[in-house]
Structure 1
Amino acid sequence: MTRRRILITGASSGLGAAMAREFAARGRDLALCARRVTNLEELRAELLAAHPGLTVAVRGLDVNDHDAVPKVFDELRAELGGLDRVIVNAGLGKGARLGTGRADANLATATTNFVSAMAQAEAALRIFREQRSGHLVLVSSMSAVRGLPGPKAAYAASKAGLSALGEGLAIELRGTPIKVTTLQPGFIATDMSARAGDARLVTPLDKGVNSMVAAIERESVRANVPEWPWRVLGFVMPLLPRAVMARMG
């Protein structure tokens, strides 16, 4: 099935903007939202210049404003004439060692990456249940595979929660016209993720996004992307001794 009308949150930069470019190149109509409206408008102009036949709708949205999420999704649905796929991509990478006086950073990360992602899933699935079709994509992280120490602890926990949510929804909706995909990207060269990982494991943005989009198009239930080396590391990481994992803090 071709999902023609695609909504992407956190689309003003990084993985969200790169996915928008890739889907536009595939001829899909787009609904893009993020806090930075100027960036969205610039991206919209770029996409329409390259692909003049498309519809590209943009809206400002802070996903932590949970009351605004369903309203914005409904506006974008009306502008595109429906939504076939929603990609919950907006995320935050702040973090500090717990108990060191930066609870604000950890709570912000936990809220954006899990609670606000759930608010987006609520809004998307309400639409899909009404339509009796749709594809929900949750952008989690390879950090969800194993708890991480130090400043990465809150981030890893928030993404583990998101992956668990995706698994639960996939089980609930199996055999229905509503599909759920959880993506677990490794280190891809964006401002947020590239800083967090070993440079030897960082994948160029175009390669990483191509792998993400391919998994989305397959509608895989869960995908570690790019497949190499992250599919293998997905099996290895839970088996590593805690002494080894401590070095990842």
Structure 2
Amino acid sequence: MSADQRKSPTEPQRGNRPPAHGRRRILITGASSGLGAQLARIWADDGRDLALCARRLPELERLRDELLDRHPHSVVHVYQLDVSDAEATERVVERAVVDLGGLDRVVAGAGIGMGARVGSGHADVNRRVLTTNVIGTWNTAEAAIRHFWDRQDGHLVIISSMAALRGFGGAMAAYSTSKAAIATLGESLRSSLARRPITVSTIFPGNIDTAINAGNPDKKWSVPLEVGTAQLAAAIEAEPASAYVPRRPWAYVAPIMRVAPLSVVRRLVG
């Protein structure tokens, strides 16, 4: 395969296999690693056309090459993007619409998990978490919904976290706050679009083995990346208003987390 073919032509070449679900053309932010990259692998295996976005272009290009090696006739476009830049996010979504001939689903998965204790003198770190996770998701939603509104169809997926359900302290404070904010964004969009054929799903992953939780020695009920992301993809395909992933135990733990004292929540989830 030539280098030009690996970069995917402007006129997409359709894969040999139709996808199992109608959402063929999918854009993923935060696709260079973790959940985003693994979702790309799952959907490439299913014959989807992909627009993959992240700040780290070399990682995206390696992922694209991996996917095209496995599926030479797949459509995989990559775009360097910092989702905190609103104008850049608009441009990339518009470019992906042209390159893929439209978008059926947008997964707002870009996020960072590092943080610092509030008042520790590292406010800049916490601001980066909040800017990327909250403003970046907002920017992605603005661009996606504008396209979906024009075509009166589409599926926006917001990747929140179980950490959104309660206020976690220490180095988790900014992350927990950001994930709660984007969960509220998802609910607000569902309210706004209630009479429109546009679906908004908020997904709450638990502990899946990614770089974000790799350094947490107290994490409980963690599952391997491949296992957790397979369940994540299945939850997304169902297009629910919200879902906890993996369902067991998090769908059963969630009601307890919402009402239990914080001391109990800390012991419960680590």
TM-score when normalising by structure 2:
0.88
Give yes or no for the alignment of 1:99 onto 2:125.
Answer: no
- Per-residue CA deviation, residues 109-167 of structure 1 (Å, 9 max, x unaligned), is 11111111101100110111111111000000000111111111111011000001101
CA distance in 2, matches of 1:160, 1:242: 16
Q: How many residues align?
A: 249
Match of 2:240 among 214, 220, 228: 220
Instruction: Report the secondary structure of 1:201's partner residue.
Output: coil
Residues 200/152 of structure 1: CA separation in 2 closer, same or farther (3 Å cut):
closer
**2:159 partner letter:** V
1:143-193 Cα shifts (integer Å, max 9, x gaps): 011111111111101100000110111122124211000011001011112
Partner of 2:177: 157
Q: How does 1:169-208 map to 2 (within 5 A)?
A: 169-196=189-216, 198-208=218-228
Gaps of 5+ in 1: none
Q: Which of 23, 28, 31 is equivalent to 2:43?
A: 23
Aligned match of 1:126: 146
- Deviation of the 1:243 alpha carbon: 2.6
Q: Which residue of 1 aligns with 2:7?
A: none
Q: Is the 8 A contact 1:136 1:181 kept in 2?
A: yes
8 A contact 1:188–1:204 mirrored in 2: yes
Corresponding position: 1:140 with 2:143 = no
Identify the residue that residue 115 of structure 1 maps to in structure 2: 135
Alignment partner of 1:231 out of 229, 248, 251 = 251
- The match for 2:62 is 42
Residue number in structure 2 paired with 1:209: 229
Higher alpha-carbon deviation: 169-178 or 18-27: 169-178
Residue 53 of structure 2 is matched in structure 1 by: 33
Alpha-carbon contact 1:32-1:57 (below 8 Å) kept:
yes
Deviates more, 1:234-243 or 1:120-129: 234-243
Larger Rg over CA atoms: 2
Q: Distance in 2 between matches of 1:16 and 1:23?
A: 11
- What residue identity is the alignment partner of 1:150? G
Whether the 8 Å CA contact 2:114–2:212 is kept in 1: the answer is no
Instruction: Give the percent of matched residue pairs that are identical in Structure 1 and Structure 2.
Output: 49
Gap runs ≥5 in structure 2 = 1-20
Deviations, residues 59-111 of structure 1 (Å, cap 9, x unaligned): 11111222100001111110001000000000011211111101011111111
2:227 maps to amino acid: K
TM-score, scaled to structure 1 = 0.96
- Give 3-state SS (helix, strand or coil) of 1:54's partner: coil
Distance of 2:174 and 2:220 partners within structure 1: 24
CA distance in 1, matches of 2:69, 2:222: 31
CA distance in 2, matches of 1:99, 1:51: 50
Q: Aligned-pair distance for 1:199?
A: 4.4
Tell whether 2:27 aligns with 1:7: yes
Distance in 2 of aligned mates of 1:128 and 1:197: 41
Q: Which moved more, 1:239-248 or 1:187-196?
A: 239-248
Question: In the alignment, does 2:193 pair up with 1:167?
Answer: no
* Deviation by residue 1:190-238 (Cα, 9 ceiling, x = unmatched): 1112334634411111110011111110001100101011111111112
1:77 paired to 2:97: yes
User: Quick one: which amino acid aligns to residue 110 of structure 1?
Assistant: L
Q: What CA distance in whole angstroms lies between the structure 2 residues aligned with 1:132 and 1:49?
A: 35
